[in-house]
Amino acid sequence: MNPVPRAIRPALTLLLAAVLGLGGCATRASSGGVAGPAVATAEPRLSAGESGEEIGRGQASWYGARFQGRRTASGEPFDKNELTAAHPSLPFGTRVRVRHARTGQEVTVRINDRGPSVRGRIIDLSRAAAAEIGIVRSGVGPVVLLRD
């Protein structure tokens, strides 16, 4: 039996370490036996701060029919009729109040996706949430994000 050549040993060691290291990144199988992304079941709250405290200000946009039924970054299917939103960094499941900066209309949304992908926007709302604060027609609007 031939031992592994000396020149190949470092590469094999590195490969083995990489394979063992990636084993910790695997997703856990769901009750149906199919592996998939973990979906937050608890409703995370934002860290320290009072309800109603401003956490962001900028332009909001919305997304709807084109994404209906597609998987969000949290793993759940997107539903344009739910009060959900995409935010670049808030934890999935976090509830945020979105107030139209000019009209004062508010809606509480649950973060379930990542976005927006357009520079200068701070949140992407589902169509239903955008309708609640009156930005469906314009497509975008100035908003203030508040702790719920």
Q: Where are the domains of the chain?
A: 54-147
Query: What would the DSSP string read from start to end of 9-64?
Result: HHHHHHHHHHHHHHGGGPPPB-TTS-B------S----SS--TT-EEEEEEEEEE-
**How many percent of the chain have pLDDT more than 70?**
67
What are residue 52's phi and psi, to 5 degrees? 90, -10
Give the residue carrying structure tokens 């973990």: 38
Q: Residue 52 has what pLDDT? A: 87
What pLDDT score does 102 carry?
97
The answer to whether domain 54-147 has CATH 2.40.40.10 is yes
Task: From residue 130, give the alpha-carbon distance in Å to each of 10, 56, 69, 115.
Answer: 56, 17, 18, 15
pLDDT single digits (tens) 77-117: 999 999 999 999 999 999 999 999 999 999 999 999 999 98
The structure's pTM equals 0.68
